[in-house]
Amino acid sequence: MHNVGLSVENEDNVVAILNDSNVWYYETIKKNEVVTISMKIQIPMGMESDSFHLQYTSAYENEKGSILAENGTIAVKIYKKPQITAEVSAPEKTLYVGDAVTVIGKFMNTGEGKAYNVTVSLEAEGLRFQNTMFVGEIEARDVGQTEGMVLVDGKNGEERYGSVKGVYHVTYLDEQGTEYKEDIPFDTELQPPILLSENTVTETPQITVQWWIAIALLSAIALACLIYLIVKVKRNHDKAI
């Protein structure tokens, strides 16, 4: 093929071709040779259609010098990409082994495509989800929310307590099955569980008994004062007679 010319355009102006030129020229293309043309196309935001068409026209000379021409249409599929912005509540700065902490996740899809299988997993030594936080599908320009429960088991080994650097992993898929991932880090401190000591348990009855003794003593004093006043009044009355 000699003097090969090719032009590509979008007659409906649905998309914009950003190449400096939409016309390509080749002096010769040999037998079985493959020529690849690279095009940069801008797709407008909010485009509802999932495809568009490009129109091409080509002309060339064969080995005999005859001029041949061809034109046609190419359908181009549009894959819309999701974009999840996630907020997952971080645990308190101090956690105690044995605690169960509620975690709330809020998710906004700011992309143009649907997000599939939106899931949150937890990576933190001594902490684990009771169940996986699963959101499911989130349409474009839509929001989702879910709750989970973090169980505080403590670290493995001798050092069960101390500082922990954790990460929430937010994963989701687009319509082609491509996986996307966003990490949300957090810090916390693991402490031993709070237990009531024997002294704490036995102090309450002792305090209660001491209150009853005080009440009985005050009652006895009041009764003695009342008897004393009655006797004194009676003596004064007898003297007056």
Q: Has residue 204 got a pLDDT over 80?
A: no
Domain finish residue from 43, 77, 111: 77
Summarize the confidence of residues 99-111 as an average pLDDT: 95
pLDDT of 10-35, one tens digit each? 988 889 999 999 999 999 999 999 99
Q: How far apart are CA 41 and CA 16, in angstroms?
A: 6
Are 241 and 144 contained in the same domain?
no
Number of domains comprising the chain? 3
Cα(122)–Cα(135) distance, integer angstroms:
15
The stretch 78-100 carries a mean pLDDT of: 93
pLDDT band at 197 (very low <50, low <70, confident <90, very high): low
Q: DSSP for 93-138? A: SEEETT-EEEEEEEEEE-SSS-EEEEEEEEE-TTEEESS-EEEEEE
pLDDT tens per residue across span 125-144 = 999 999 989 999 999 999 99
Query: What local confidence, expressed as pLDDT, does residue 198 receive?
Result: 55
Q: Identify the domain containing residue 222 by its residue range.
A: 198-241
pLDDT of residue 202: 47
User: Are residues 112 and 127 part of one domain?
Assistant: yes
- In this structure, are 218 and 178 located in the same domain? no
